[in-house]
Structure formats: C-alpha cells, structure tokens
Chains A and B, each alone.
Chain A
C-alpha cells in the first residue's frame, strides 16, 4: 500500500469517528416556578374559611399562617391550618395542625397534580372576628 493510500485511510477513519464522541444536544431542565398564593380574609369565632387551588404538576405544597390580626395588633390565638381536597361546599383536610402565626411554613406535604384546598378553622373560640393571611406555595 502506498504512503498516500495509508494517509487517506487514516484521515478518513479519524474524520468519521469524530474523535469518538457522540454529538449530543444538551437541553436545560425546565424550571417550574412555584406559585405563591396569598389568602386573606376574616375569620369569625368558631368559623372556617378555605381556598381552592389547582396544581398542574406534582410537588411539595407549603402553607404558612403568617398573620392573625385584630386591628393592627398581631394575635397569639391558635388556629387549625389544613391542606386537603374540596369536598362538597367545604374542604376535607388530609393534613392539619394547630398553630399560631409564624413566618416559617407550618405545613409541608407532597401532592399529585389536581385540585386541592387550604383551610383555616377556629376550634377554640376566638374572642372576636380577626383577619388572617395565609401564604401558600405550590408547584
């Protein structure tokens, strides 16, 4: 075999193998920005309020009873905060906790895609109607 033929064969081999690497198209993972819901309202003594929301993807839901006020004054009363599924005209909580206000989430639960609800209830008897604010974060 002549030198020229050898050269042609080697160059062809190197060019065809493309350095042994497989060309790949890199794709960035799609970032799903969590949705933040602020649920505010007035809670009457022994009352219950809830808010329904829809998750298009599965993921972790966090709920924070951030504020309970009478006028401008934050109140220390304990309320039941729950996460669950709308049922009839109410919200059937699958997870619930008696809690006072905090700026860290009191509830954290994984859910599949679907329609859910967050519920706040007074079980102990508030001395008067109070305004609450719940922050809910879901995928």
Chain B
C-alpha cells in the first residue's frame, strides 16, 4: 500500500500547475536624436524622412551651414507619395534656426530649402529629435 501512495503522490506532483508571467514591457520614452547632412543648390531643397513611434514633439535644429550667414528655410512635414516633403510648418534663419511641432505616430520629414538667397550650393547639418 505504501508503494501505491508513493506512485499517487509522484503522479500528482507532476500535475502541479506552473504559473507563467509575461515580462512587464518597459516604455522607451527617450527621444531619438539623429543628424542629417546634405546640400542645397540654388532654388532647391533637401529632405529626410523619419518615423515617429508615439505622440510627442518633433524638434529640428540647423546645426551648421556652409557658407554661413545665408538664411535658409527649415521645415517639418509629411512625405508625399512621390517622396517629396510637404511642409506643415517652417522657419527662416541661419545656423541655430529651430522648429518644434507636435506630431502623432507616423512618418514625417524635415526639409532645408533655398529662400531664393543662395547663389552657390550650401552644405548643412540638421539635428532631428523625435519620440
């Protein structure tokens, strides 16, 4: 009879229910920061698309421009289906020009464009910060 009890206990122990827990997701709230360098020819523009993962603020800063001292347009918008950048907001200025705008999850773009003041190509670097 003792053997029977041992068999029953062993079998019952094998049926012990295991509770599995899912790992708790940790939200990444830090803004992503990236730089984009390119050049703009007279009458032209250059843009860069990026993905925003959640609602938050997009900030774009003109970090450098060569030659310096020439005002350019700096804007944020949404990429059209043809790849060009349709602007929602923009500012005009030189180095340190900055624009900030609220946006929800999606794909957006930043653009630097000639205001009609360029007589030669302008090399620039912008810094894009977004959620």
User: A74 on the interface (CB 8 Å rule)?
Assistant: yes
A40 in contact with B80 given A10-B4, A20-B15, A103-B104 (CB within 8 Å): yes
User: B81 on the interface (CB 8 Å rule)?
Assistant: yes
| A101/B88 in contact, CB under 8 A | yes
CB distance from A67 to the nearest CB of B (A): 4
B104 closest partner in A (C-beta): A104
CB distance from B8 to the nearest CB of A (A): 5
User: B66 on the interface (CB 8 Å rule)?
Assistant: no
Residues of A that sit less than 8 Å from B by CB: 3, 6-7, 10-11, 14, 19-21, 36, 38, 40, 64, 66-67, 69, 72-74, 101-105, 131, 133, 135
Q: A21-B17, A67-B86 are in contact. List 20 more A-B contacts (CB 8 A).
A: A3-B4, A10-B4, A10-B8, A19-B17, A36-B106, A38-B80, A38-B81, A40-B80, A40-B86, A64-B104, A67-B77, A67-B78, A73-B87, A74-B77, A103-B76, A103-B78, A103-B103, A104-B102, A104-B103, A131-B86
